Amino acid sequence: MALLLPLSRSSSSSVRKMKAKESNYDPNIHRLPWYGGCVLLALVALCGTVSYWSFFYLPPALTAADLARQPLAFNGARAWDTLTQLDALGPKTTGSRANEVRAVEVLEREFSLINASHHPAQQVLYEKQIVSGQYGINFFGSQMTSVYRRVQNLIVKLVGAEDRHALMLNCHFDSVASSPGASDDCGSCAVMLEILRVLSRAPERNRHSIVFLFNGAEETPLQASHGFITGHRWAREVRAFLNLESAGSGGKELLFQSGPQHPWLIEAYSRAVRHPFGQAIGEEIFQSGLIPSDTDFRIFRDFGHVPGLDFAHIFNGYRYHTRYDSVQFLSPAVLQRTGDNILSMVRLLANGNQLANGDDGRSEGSMVFFDFLGLFFISYTAIEGTVLNIVVSIAGLVVGCWSVLAVVGWSNWRSMGREMLHGFVATLVGSGAGIGLNLATAYGMDRIVDRSMSWYSSCWLIVGLYCVPVMMLLFIAHREFHRLFSKSKTVLSLTLTVQARIVGVFLFWALLTIGATVYGLRSAYVTAIMLTLVLFSMTLTALLKLQSFPGGYWLIIHLLVHSVALLWTTQFYHIFTNIFIPITGRSGANDNPDLIIGIVAAACTIFTTSFLVPLVNLLRKPYRTIGTLFVLFLAALALGTVSSFGFPYTGPGPSPSDAPKVQRILVQHTVRQFYEPNSTQTLRSADAGYLFRLWDRHNERTVRDMLEKQSPGKGTSALEPTELPECKREVFCGMPGSAIRFTSLWSPQSNRPNTPDMVKLSLDRWEIVRRNANGSSIKLTISLNGSFQSTILVRPRRNVRLTGWNLTPEVPVKLAAAGHNAYFLLITHGLAGEPVPLILDLETDRKSDTVEPLVDISVTSNFWEYHEHFTEEFSRFVASFPSWAHVVPSVTVVNVYTF
């Protein structure tokens, strides 16, 4: 008995420990009722609604009644009055009377009123710059030489007490054809005028001068800003700039580009701005080329080497560059918010040390910056971001494992690791399956049922079509991994198992965060902030020892903290959809836009819900929640395919609040004239037709339907320009360069446009510089006569090289598209001027007695706002399009010469 007694005590102790561990496992403990899944979905919807509300909220504008009470505050009503004057002028293309005369008159009248009312302590200077120049630029993958003649800049300088350094504000008052440009960019000019008005009435001068640049040729693109930054004497004083732009129509202004380098600019924004809205991820997306747009920021940065901040309104991109970008769809609150923020920035920079010290050591380093629902703004250096991302990723894994193992013992690390791996793999599999299903849905919507872009006007359909199925497959993956791989006997209770799976999800995002950080993406902060919040939740649970508390308080903490995370994550869904949905309406006809939206929606859904998905294993009947999601997916699929909700476009409604979401149609009534070799007068052939630029997936169908309606048989005879027989011999098929660079459609027509004026080419001189048996050097001197917007294509023939010209110091790279290549020139005239000389230095390896042509030159004249030149037939055709189509008509002349 003496020997058996100790053995009995040891055995009973082991049994007690085993029972204690087994007591952690209970398949029913803390299980939620089946409708708990609906509660989780409701939580996501609630947080998404709150972030959506904060996304669109604008403070009310000050009115005329507030002027006496707040004389030195930005007044949105007064800025609105200026905007309505500019909007009333209609489209203001560079070179048009509306832009070069009437818009200038409106702005100069405002300058006169400001000068008459400024405080005696202030000095306000005004200059009009009429400037010409040229430069080479790569614009969205196309190398071109940009030439501008007599474009206008209106420049006001508010002289500072120390008139050595200056801050510059920039806007442009020109617009694209058929658009009044209320948001892009007359609203910014109205904001700048009000800021100038307020500052000019202050009783004390600012320390530094402020230059207000109102440029008249941005849409051409980016030409007037080049003329200022490279040619005006005040440009040498500029140490920083604020560029005010728009890629939408109203809403908040997004800070989306900074620097380059110069972190003090972001620090100044953080200190000054009352209503922050800025995301570093926007900068990386914009500079990647995913967004088909550019701003004057590029010119000031690359040609002036000046640091700055780039702001743009991004909401309602449907109206961007359409006739609906008007005051009818804006409000003074838009101007008030932008004006409050920019005025605060201007006051801080114009009176601080930053401009004078901008070239010190603080000029190096990129910044990570972001706001949280507009409540506060955070910024730190990219190096600090790298450290933060890695520390948070590792710390979360350590704390998550410690939280679970502190309950069951560190000796059970294999169980913990197994469940964490299950969570990681389930998230990986569910994410892959969700993206795969979205790609399949996108393919089916486009190729099978022919309903791509069904969400374009009904953007809520994206949630049902592309968000819900991803969430459903994430739920299924986590549920099936739990059912198939969970052991019946384990030291981990159900709650601890779920927490271990959440750590597995953390591992998934930690690897992505570290990978993005190592790759050098500052936008890794987006996931790092979410991981920080989850780390806080796990730390709080572990410190309070609530991991296995019978009341399930760990779940309450997880949901409360994750509600904040949901506010953070859902705002990116709103940002991305607001940016990318309207872009699909102008991104071209070749790519299926549902693929883009499906991937974006899948990424946002995984990002938003992945830390909630493991909770599916706490539900008593989880497939009821999964079934609910499946029904929602089927309902959205039905609405998108067989109902009117799936039609992509809407026209203007009965009230101004019914904002249209239109299809863009660009149609050029084009005449093509081919001249005899070495002649600029004698035609060898000519024809005419309608040239359509296909902006979106459904443009071609609309165009063919309208052609068929106008003349039966015309719709079927329309063809791509590259299918024309002359493509084998003529430079760029005898078409404007854009017809080959972008997806286009050509419809031959018997009626020719009225073309009383055009850009004509004349050969002034043909000079043989050198001739020998091995070849020749020839100089061609050409004049381009006519002050209209035009493009030039120069294609040397075989064995001929362009070795130099008079436009740029070096000959640029050729523009290449669809097997064609040529040197591409864009020429813009503001005010009418002298002919543009073009001198070509050519070298050929041909023998001296060869008489073959050396070069082909195609000159395209564009008449964007010359409706008086439209024929009656063309006007009827344009008017026949449905109300949901935004038609931009023009007259185009293509002259092809050979020398």
Tell me how far apart the alpha carbons of residues 616 and 695 are, in angstroms, rounded to a whole number: 43
Q: Are 151 and 223 in contact (CB under 8 A)?
A: yes
DSSP 524-585: GHHHHHHHHHHHHHHHHHHHTT-TT-TT-HHHHHHHHHHHHHHHHHHHHHHHHHHHHHHHTT
Q: pLDDT digit string (tens) for 541-594?
A: 999 998 877 667 899 999 999 999 999 999 999 999 999 999 999 988 998 999
HEC assignment per residue over 407-439:
HHCHHHHHHHHHHHHHHHHHHHHHHHHHHHHHH
Tell me how far apart the alpha carbons of residues 461 and 438 are, in angstroms, rounded to a whole number: 13
Tell me how far apart the alpha carbons of residues 874 and 667 are, in angstroms, rounded to a whole number: 10
The answer to whether the peptide bond before residue 221 is cis (omega within 30 degrees of 0) is yes
Q: Are 285 and 576 in contact (CB under 8 A)?
A: no
The pTM (predicted TM-score) of the whole model is 0.92
| Distances, alpha carbon 588 to alpha carbons 25, 442, 751, in Å | 57, 17, 28
Rounded average pLDDT over 841-858: 82
The residue among 758 and 41 whose pLDDT is bigger is: 41
pLDDT of amino acid 359? 54
Residue 676 has pLDDT above 60, yes or no: yes
Half-sphere exposure of 165 (CA within 13 A, CB side): 18
Q: pLDDT digit string (tens) for 477-536?
A: 999 998 888 766 778 888 899 999 999 999 999 999 999 999 999 999 999 999 999 999
Structure tokens at 865: 């706002």
Q: Are 604 and 573 in contact (CB under 8 A)?
A: yes
**795 - beta bridge partners?**
856
Structure tokens at 890: 């023009």
Rounded average pLDDT over 681-698: 94
Residue 335 has pLDDT above 50, yes or no: yes
Per DSSP, the three-state class of 878 is helix
| Distances, alpha carbon 371 to alpha carbons 266, 281, 284, 394, in Å | 12, 12, 16, 25
Average confidence score pLDDT of the chain: 90
The torsion of the CA quartet 530, 531, 536, 537, rounded to 10 degrees, works out to 80
Q: pLDDT digit string (tens) for 364-385?
A: 778 999 999 999 999 999 999 9
pLDDT of amino acid 687? 94
pLDDT of amino acid 513? 98
Least confident of 169-178, 214-223, 480-489: 480-489
C-alpha dihedral sign at 269, 275, 281, 287 = negative
Q: CA geometry: angle at 167 spanning 338 and 288, to 5°? A: 65
Residue 866 has pLDDT above 90, yes or no: no
Find the farthest-apart pair of alpha carbons in the chain and give their distance in angstroms, rounded.
127
Q: pLDDT digit string (tens) for 266-301?
A: 999 999 998 999 999 988 888 877 777 789 999 999
Residue 715 has pLDDT above 80, yes or no: no
pLDDT of amino acid 849? 58
For residue 16, name the pLDDT band (cuts at 50, 70, 90): very low
* Top mean-pLDDT range of 280-284, 415-419, 426-430: 426-430
For residue 847, name the pLDDT band (cuts at 50, 70, 90): low
Length of the chain: 899
Rounded average pLDDT over 313-342: 93
Give 875's contacts (C-beta < 8 A, 6+ positions apart): 867
Residue 815 has pLDDT above 70, yes or no: yes
Q: Domains for the chain: give ranges and CATH numbers.
A: 64-374 (3.40.630.10), 382-643 (no CATH), 663-898 (no CATH)
